[in-house]
Amino acid sequence: MPQPAMPQPAASPAPPVTLRNGFAYGLSTLPHLIHRLLGAANALQNKPYLLGGGHRRLDDVGYDCSSATSYVLIKAGLLQTVLNSSQLAGYGEPGPGRFITLWVKSGHHVFLTICGLRLDTSGGRVSEGPRWRTAERNLAGFMPRHPPGL
């Protein structure tokens, strides 16, 4: 008498965004706007941290936390001008977004996550600049915000 087949665990779905060689790639099923956000963030991957960088001119040699976040939003058409972290605390809508979340500690730091992958100027070497980060981060004191609809 044949044995009944053992049920196989369901395969976990592929993450919507993957990191390869320091660059983020999204599944083709993601909205086009998310691919624009990823492309803008990928453009910052070799830039150094520069306090005040990216505030006077969008395409700069280096970026700080708020200008890197603003750069990504501007290049995707979701923001008109570079904002500092205090100004970004009022951007969009409160709470985490479906695809993108800005994590703001007003007057101190801001970073964003796109489909769970974090773009941050901290968490690596000093002066490393905005990079995709995979390590967990303490969110104590950070307020989540998101662009409307995202």
Distances (CA, A) of 122 to 23, 33, 107, 111, 129: 17, 25, 15, 9, 7
What is the pLDDT confidence band of residue 114, given thresholds at 50, 70 and 90?
very high
pLDDT at residue 4 is higher than 70: no
What is the pLDDT confidence band of residue 15, given thresholds at 50, 70 and 90?
confident
All residues at 6 or more sequence positions from 52 whose CB lies less than 8 Å from its CB, including other chains: 64, 67
Distance of alpha carbon 63 from alpha carbon 52, whole angstroms: 7
Using a pLDDT cut of 90, give the percent of the chain over it.
Answer: 84
Distance of alpha carbon 102 from alpha carbon 89, whole angstroms: 9
Where are the alpha helices (H) located in 11-100, listed in sequence order? 32-42, 65-75, 85-88
Region 96-121 average pLDDT: 96
What is the pLDDT confidence band of residue 127, given thresholds at 50, 70 and 90?
low
Distances (CA, A) of 2 to 5, 6, 93, 107: 9, 12, 58, 67
Q: What are the pLDDT digits (tens) for 20-47?
A: 999 999 999 999 999 999 999 999 999 9
Mean pLDDT score of the chain, rounded to an integer?
A: 91
